Amino acid sequence: MERTIYNELLAWKNSSGRKPLILDGARQVGKTWILREFGKREYEKFVYINCDNNPELSGLFTDYNIPRIIRFLSAYSGTNITAGNTLIFIDEIQELERGISSLKYFCEEANEYHIVVAGSLLGIQIHSGTGFPVGKVDRLHIEPLSFKEFVNACGNRELVKLLELHEWNELSGLKNTFIELLRQYYYVGGMPEAVQSYVNEQDLFKVRRIQNRILSDYKDDFSKHIPKDELPRVGMVWNAIPGQLAKENKKFIYGVLKQGGRAKEFEKAIMWLMDMGLIHKVNRINKIGKPIKFYEDLGAFKLFMLDLGLLGAMADVSAKDILTRNEIFSEYKGAFTEQYVAQQYYAITGNGLYYYTNESATNEIDFVVQNEYVHPIEVKAEENLKSKSLSTVLKSDENIFGWRFSMSDYREQERMANIPLYLCGEWMESKLKYNYNKE
């Protein structure tokens, strides 16, 4: 299974300014798998150390003597670690005291060694406040598979090559093929285990069992890491997300969780879920302009799930509804389609996403992003292209360029492009990734 992050790992390996690398992300998004593949393919020697529930490693970072640590890792792994041609991969590093802090000393005293570490996003976040080697590490983040990665995993490499040519108009002839794959992605999602099972066995019911098991594992993680007095509120927020997304107005409403519920009561619960990487918070802006961060309203937001397939499992949407009915793209108030667009965005950029409403809430734009221009994004789950909100916004500022993701074919209008939903991720990558990475 190919992941696009592999090229970023190669760039890290070959960088003259390379530092120890932290790969973070939610549990079960493929951190361990991709780093093991990278180590085996790109290095003469590969050392894998798993710190999870491993008492033999308890003394590894009793101090920051790097020669001693290298000797320990060599002896423990049975591999003679040599600088430059050995990749050292320490998994679940957050489980060891001083583990993350030790990366500072690898950077300053032994940067000739290639070392990567992985851990749960929550574990990394907890260490970010204290003992974190600021400025001494490189960081990459991994999300579930994007639609393009899913298409490739399903054995459609030639389709991926066509996508990457960015000949948008020419792809309309393959519309039905892409839409069928998009249906499958709506059901399977991007969690690597679910995707691999689907590719190997084409068993939709086994995919759903895997998704439900992942959801169960996440709930087990809640009890392991979250304080007992906060657990009920975390569960309430987590369980409410499918219903909140199915509303016409997807703004998160605390009162839906509990009668009289207020931000103060649930803020920490939302933060826990964000720190675990299980949800994405899309804040409102009250004006569409540059820089959009200036117009952020922290009191109004939408919450999206980590993965489209997990959303379907939580909502108990059947394979029949997703794979055989045309209405799936528009039902549930377009919840799946907005989740899909948000998921492609985060897989590509990892940056903040926003939405817009005016003061009277009569004009709403589903998403807003920024590169050299501000781009209001409208998400249409059908082919109906009429939109008073987007037209109003475009008329207000000639420096705004709109994007509409819908089921219609590609077309360009004045300061607006309509992009088929199946091209959403590749379009955003072509327009946004270079600009964000440049920063």
> In this predicted model, what pLDDT tens digit does every residue of 115-138 receive, in sequence order?
999 977 665 555 444 468 889 999
Pick the CATH number of 5-141 from 3.40.50.300, 3.20.20.140, 3.40.190.290, 3.60.15.10: 3.40.50.300
Is the pLDDT assigned to residue 247 strictly greater than 90? no
pTM given for the model: 0.92
pLDDT at 432 over 90: no
pLDDT of residue 438: 34
3-class SS shares of the chain: helix, strand, coil, % to 5: 50, 15, 30
pLDDT exceeds cutoff 60 at 2: yes
pLDDT at 333 over 60: no
pLDDT of residue 439: 33
Per-position DSSP letters for 36-102, written without gaps between them: HHHHHHH-SEEEEEE-TT-GGGTTTTSS--HHHHHHHHHHHHT----TTTEEEEEESGGGSTTTTTT
Strand partners, 375: 369
What band does 94 get if pLDDT is binned at 50, 70 and 90? confident
- The listed range with the strongest mean pLDDT (140-154, 322-336, 400-414) is 140-154
Instruction: Give per-residue pLDDT as tens, 59-70.
Output: 898 899 999 999
**Across all residues in the chain, what is the average pLDDT?**
90
pLDDT-derived band at 156, boundaries 50, 70, 90: very high
7: pLDDT strictly greater than 50: yes
Measuring CA to CA, which residue among 289, 400, 282 is closest to residue 343? 282
Mean pLDDT on 166-181: 94
- Of the chain, the percentage scoring pLDDT greater than 90 comes to 68
| Pairing, β 279-285 against β 354-357 | parallel
Percent of the chain with pLDDT over 70: 92
Neighbours of 195 (CB within 10 A): 25
Tokens 């068993």 belong to which residue? 203
Q: What is the pLDDT of residue 124?
A: 58
Phi, psi of 369 (to 5 degrees): -130, 170
Burial class (CB in 10 A: 0-12, 13-18, 19+), 67: exposed
Q: What is the mean pLDDT of residues 331-354?
A: 86
**pLDDT score, position 192:** 98
Residue type, 276: M
List the chain domain ranges. 5-141, 147-438
Residue 168: its pLDDT value, please?
95
